[in-house]
Chain A
Amino acid sequence: MTRPRPLRPLLSLAAVALLLLAGGPATGQNAATPKSGGVLVTSPLAATPSLSPHEESTIATVQQASPCFNNLVYFDPAKKVESVDTLIPELAEKWSWQDGYRNLVFFLRRDVKWHDGKLFTSADVKYTFDAVRGAPDARAKLRVNPRKLWYENIEAIEAPDAATVVFRLKHPQPSLLPMLASGYSPVYPAHVPLAELKNRCVGTGPFKLKENKPGELVEYVRNPDYFVKGRPYLDGIKFVVIRDRSTQIAALQSGQLDVAGSGWNKTNAENARSGHPKLTIVEADSNVNDNVLVNFKRAPFTDVRIRRAINLALDRKAYLVGPRQGAATFGGALLPRPAGVWGLPAAEVAKLPGMGDAAKQKAEAKKLLAEAGFGPANPLKITVSTRALAIYVDTASWMVDQLQQIGVEATLEQIESGVWHPKMTRLEYQVALNLTGVGIDDPDAQLFENYRCGSQRNFSAYCSEEIDRLMIQQSQTLDPKKRLALVQDIDRRLQADGARPVLGWAKQYSVYWPHVKGWAVHENSIYNVSRRQDVWLDK
Chain B
Amino acid sequence: MRTYVVKRVLIAGVTLLGMSLLLFVLMRLAPGNITDIIFESAGYVDEGDRRKLEAELGIDRPVVVQYGRWLADFLRGELGKSYRYDLPAWEVIRPRLPVTVELAVLAMGFAVVLGVPFGVISAVRRGRPLDYALRVVSLAGLSMPSFWLAMVIILTLVRALGWIPSMTYVSPFDDLGANLAQFLLPALAVGYRSSALIMRITRSTMLEVLREDYIRTAWAKGQRGTQVVWRHALKNASLPVVTLIGIEFAFLIGGLIVTETVFNLPGVARYLVDAIQYRDYPIVQNLAMLIAIVVVFANLTVDLLYTWLDPRIKYGGA
Residues of A near any B CB (own CB < 8 A) = 1-2, 4, 6, 9-10, 13, 16-17, 20-25, 43, 47, 49-50, 55-58, 61, 143-146, 195, 198-199, 213-217, 238, 240-244, 246-247, 250-251, 253-257, 275, 416-422, 425-426, 456-457
Q: How many Å from the CB of B107 to the closest CB on chain A?
A: 13
- In the complex, which residues of chain B have a beta carbon less than 8 angstroms from the beta carbon of A240? 167-168, 264
CA–CA, A195 to B81, complex, Å? 13
Known pairs A6-B130, A57-B44; list 9 more (Cβ under 8 Å). A21-B161, A57-B41, A58-B41, A143-B38, A214-B92, A253-B162, A419-B36, A419-B37, A425-B45
B166 on the A face (CB < 8 A) = yes
Interface of A is mostly: loop
Q: How many Å from the CB of A15 to the closest CB on chain B?
A: 11
Residues of B near any A CB (own CB < 8 A) = 31-32, 36-46, 49, 53, 82, 84-87, 92, 95, 113-114, 117-118, 120-121, 124, 130, 134, 151, 154-155, 157-159, 161-164, 166-169, 177-178, 180-181, 184-185, 188, 224-226, 228-229, 261-264, 266, 270-271, 274, 277-279
Would A420 and B49 count as touching, CB distance under 8 A? no
Would A418 and B39 count as touching, CB distance under 8 A? no
Choice from B113, B120, B163, B188 contacting A254 with Cβ under 8 Å: B163
Given contacts A1-B229, A146-B43, A418-B278, contact A242 B264 (CB under 8 A): yes
Would B154 and A217 count as touching, CB distance under 8 A? no
- The 6 lowest CB-CB distance pairs between A and B, nearest first, are A1-B225, A57-B43, A419-B32, A24-B162, A20-B181, A2-B226
Q: How many Å from the CB of A24 to the closest CB on chain B?
A: 4
Given contacts A4-B124, A144-B49, contact A457 B44 (CB under 8 A): yes
- In the complex, which residues of chain B have a beta carbon less than 8 angstroms from the beta carbon of A195? 86
CA–CA, A242 to B278, complex, Å? 18
Given contacts A247-B263, A417-B277, A419-B32, contact A254 B224 (CB under 8 A): no
Would A418 and B43 count as touching, CB distance under 8 A? no
CA–CA, A2 to B177, complex, Å? 33
- In the complex, which residues of chain A have a beta carbon less than 8 angstroms from the beta carbon of B151? 246
CA–CA, A1 to B177, complex, Å? 37
- In the complex, which residues of chain B have a beta carbon less than 8 angstroms from the beta carbon of A24? 161-163
Would B158 and A253 count as touching, CB distance under 8 A? yes
Would B167 and A242 count as touching, CB distance under 8 A? yes
20 contacts between A and B (CB under 8 A): A6-B118, A9-B114, A13-B184, A23-B162, A58-B43, A198-B86, A213-B95, A214-B84, A216-B169, A244-B264, A246-B155, A247-B154, A250-B158, A254-B158, A416-B31, A418-B277, A418-B279, A419-B31, A456-B46, A457-B44
Give the nearest-CB partner of A8 in chain B: B117
Q: How many Å from the CB of A525 to the closest CB on chain B?
A: 16
Given contacts A16-B184, A214-B87, A425-B45, contact A2 B167 (CB under 8 A): no
- Counting chain B CB atoms within 10 Å of each CB, the highest count among A1, A23, A56, A246 belongs to A1
Would A425 and B224 count as touching, CB distance under 8 A? no
Give the nearest-CB partner of A43 in chain B: B167
CA–CA, A416 to B32, complex, Å? 10
- Counting chain B CB atoms within 10 Å of each CB, the highest count among A20, A144, A199, A456 belongs to A144
CA–CA, A421 to B37, complex, Å? 9
- In the complex, which residues of chain A have a beta carbon less than 8 angstroms from the beta carbon of B185? 17
Given contacts A24-B163, A49-B84, A256-B167, contact A6 B134 (CB under 8 A): yes
Q: How many Å from the CB of B227 to the closest CB on chain A?
A: 9
- In the complex, which residues of chain A have a beta carbon less than 8 angstroms from the beta carbon of B134? 6
CA–CA, A419 to B161, complex, Å? 42
Q: How many Å from the CB of A524 to the closest CB on chain B?
A: 19
- In the complex, which residues of chain A have a beta carbon less than 8 angstroms from the beta carbon of B229? 1
CA–CA, A23 to B229, complex, Å? 45
- In the complex, which residues of chain B have a beta carbon less than 8 angstroms from the beta carbon of A25? 162
Give the nearest-CB partner of A54 in chain B: B42
Would B261 and A243 count as touching, CB distance under 8 A? yes
CA–CA, A368 to B87, complex, Å? 55
CA–CA, A246 to B154, complex, Å? 9
Would B41 and A254 count as touching, CB distance under 8 A? no
Would A49 and B87 count as touching, CB distance under 8 A? no
Would B226 and A418 count as touching, CB distance under 8 A? no
Would B271 and A215 count as touching, CB distance under 8 A? yes
CA–CA, A126 to B274, complex, Å? 37
Q: How many Å from the CB of B167 to the closest CB on chain A?
A: 5
CA–CA, A456 to B49, complex, Å? 12
Would A217 and B168 count as touching, CB distance under 8 A? yes
- In the complex, which residues of chain A have a beta carbon less than 8 angstroms from the beta carbon of B167? 43, 240, 242, 247, 251, 256-257
- In the complex, which residues of chain B have a beta carbon less than 8 angstroms from the beta carbon of A4? 117, 120-121, 124
CA–CA, A345 to B32, complex, Å? 42
Given contacts A242-B264, A250-B154, A425-B44, contact A214 B161 (CB under 8 A): no
Choice from B118, B163, B180 contacting A21 with Cβ under 8 Å: B163
Would A419 and B40 count as touching, CB distance under 8 A? yes
Choice from B43, B155, B159, B278 contacting A457 with Cβ under 8 Å: B43
- In the complex, which residues of chain B have a beta carbon less than 8 angstroms from the beta carbon of A275? 159
Q: How many Å from the CB of B202 to the closest CB on chain A?
A: 12
Choice from A146, A198, A217, A243 contacting B42 with Cβ under 8 Å: A146
Would B45 and A56 count as touching, CB distance under 8 A? no
Would A13 and B44 count as touching, CB distance under 8 A? no
Choice from A23, A56, A217, A255 contacting B41 with Cβ under 8 Å: A56
Would A146 and B44 count as touching, CB distance under 8 A? yes
Would A254 and B40 count as touching, CB distance under 8 A? no
Give the nearest-CB partner of A249 in chain B: B158
Q: How many Å from the CB of B45 to the closest CB on chain A?
A: 4
